[in-house]
Amino acid sequence: GGPALIHALEDAEGRATGWVTAYPGRGQATGAPPPAPDAGRPVRTGYPAARLVNADSATDSDPAMEMDLDPPSGPASEPDAELEPPYDLSGSGEVSDADSDSDNSADSDDNTYLQIPSWRITGAPDTPRFTGYYGNPYWRGKSLDFEFTLARLLAARPEVTTTVRETVGRAHRFLVERFGEEAATQAFFPPDDPRWAAPGGPLPQLLGPDATATLPQLMEAYANAVFAHTGPATVSRALPGRIRHAGQPLRRLNPAARASWQRHDALGFRQVAGVNGPALWLLQGTQELGATPAELATFRTALIAWSVLEGVQSLHEVLRASHLVGMGGADERVATRRDAARTHGWARDHLVDWQRIPDTPEGLAVRDRLRAPHVALYGDGVRFPRQATDGLAVPDDLLAMVDVLLSGAVPASPDDERMEVAREWLSRYGEEGRAALLKLSPAHITALFIYSMSDYRLMKALLNGERFGQLASRWLVRSVAWTLVTRGVYVVWSPGSGPWESHVPLTLRTQPGFHEVLQGLVDLRDLEPGPELSRLRRRLDAIADGLHGQLKAHIEMAVEALELLPPVRRTVWWGDRGVPGSLARPAANSPLYNGAVISVPFFRSTSTDSGAAIAFAVGRGSGPSHTHRGVFEIPGSLGKEIAMFSAFAGESEVLYPPGSYFLSQNRTIRTYDEGSTRHTYAYSVVAEATAHR
């Protein structure tokens, strides 16, 4: 260990970059000169420096964060552990000694939370998701295509046109009562409309028994009558102060200006005209004219179809506008405030009538375009062949398992452990489980599999580092990547120790350039400091740094998958060999264990087997200093069982997403005899809680 220092990281050729890294106890990397003084980067400063954290503002950086960031001892969390042989070369997939959840070194004696003010946990319920995708041109194209496909489906519903025609008729009667027949008719049509030349005038084409007006024609006429007509006979002028329209004309996007159709904000919401626009004014007018809640809901459907296809407003803008007139349930309102990914998911669940889409090639193409854009981008790009995953094509083989499971067919390998686990899972969860499997996409299944590999260590590093800002998060990912790769190197050097791949994360070893780094390290025959080791580490740092954004997407997709699965509703346990404080006096001010509240900023893995939790807590190795061993029981857990999609299908793992909170109910001291050794640990019963941060 030693104080964590900050310096400019060189690239593979020794050139200074804008990154930040630290090798505790080592000082500056060997093999390249420090950056010039005018490079604008400190060579030795406290980590993380106030100007290098992603605080809300320059004044939000807390001097208390200028601290020693030396992590707890243990091979996966201590950056210098690569110089020691790994503790476990079995390749069994077991959780290692370094997986204590304690952030003991970050404990504070003055009960101060050590985190930046802007800290938001990736994957947590209140954190926007997939923000790294929203600037991607491919995603933006998918987003627009999603809205257009949805709008066309909604426009094709017969009840939509019928409801709009009835609404137009109601508006006509209202205007006739206020302004007379002639003025009322003029409100719907501009003077230059060719329909004035038709026998009997234009109105029969909208409202007569032989009316032929399409949905766009009906909506445009209705918009004229409510607010867009320049004369005095409009609904908004008849009801001053009841409709927000302030004289703006009806505007549309230029069909030729494609860039304007694909404008999105940082949360992925498409931007056209804002919330205070035609959708709001038309909804207010329809409400004032006496529409029932059911009629208003159908009219909103028509608004979505017309607004999106005509370039008047976006899906998100129409939904948000409807909330201003009292529409929309809690789930819808949360989704449309959080991010585009949640909004697209809500729209798929509540606006798409999947039974109306035929099982034809055309229908399958429609279903494909209605994939949530973030799911499409992830699912099309994240796949692994069998040679990368020890014989399992991901997600293809797992999808085949689900198909067999849902069809009830006899699998090709009836004794396959994974298939047996899957059948037991479906037996436990019944129709609820079947519905969940139908909603899981290949992207969700892939993300759960990735989590179950040693990739969870990189995810945990990212999530733990976020507390101190993105630079700290990137540094910790690079440090853990180095530790795991050097474990793999020791395995290569130790014949009979198992496959090196079991120690190196799947997402890391499938990155371009990784195998050249691995081979270079293997060829060194030792990991003593030197120019070549530094060069290889810089190359690995660059690879790991490029992986940071991908890890966020893997975390977010795994969390979304958990939200689709049914809760286990059984008692589960987890073990921790590094609970802050002593058995007699547990700490009450650590970042994770804060009095009665236990906060978990990373995935919380638990087991339906209490013995597994106890064995982990009292197992080999010791936790960080000033900590003790603990086992935690969660009765009636709402965690999600993921074994059927795990790389280790035989494990009874139940998973919680990052940002979970638990309240301690009671705590006792227990003993566990292992041969002639007696272990003492704290046994706590905890209850799930909502966010306390």
Q: What is the pLDDT, as a whole number, of residue 614?
A: 93
Q: Quote the CA–CA distance of 596 and 617 in Å, as a whole number.
A: 20
- On whether the pTM is more than 0.85, the answer is no
Nearest of 101, 104, 107, 106 to residue 575 by alpha carbon? 101
Q: What is the pLDDT, as a whole number, of residue 210?
A: 82
Q: What is the pLDDT, as a whole number, of residue 100?
A: 57
Is residue 126 packed enough to be buried (19+ CB in 10 Å), middle (13-18) or exposed (0-12)?
exposed
Q: What is the pLDDT, as a whole number, of residue 191?
A: 77
Q: Quote the CA–CA distance of 631 and 378 in Å, as a whole number.
A: 36
Nearest of 43, 51, 45 to residue 10 by alpha carbon? 43
The list of the chain residues with pLDDT below 70 reads: 1-113, 197, 410-415, 690-693
* Sign of the dihedral defined by the CA atoms of residues 406, 409, 412, 414, in that order: positive
Number of neighbouring beta carbons within 10 Å of residue 332: 21
Q: Quote the CA–CA distance of 691 and 112 in Å, as a whole number.
A: 18
DSSP 3-state of 605: strand
Strands 7-10 and 597-600: unpaired
Question: What residue spans define the domains of the chain?
Answer: 137-338, 572-689
Strands 653-656 and 660-674: unpaired
Q: Quote the CA–CA distance of 84 and 433 in Å, as a whole number.
A: 45
Class of domain 572-689: alpha beta
Number of neighbouring beta carbons within 10 Å of residue 639: 25
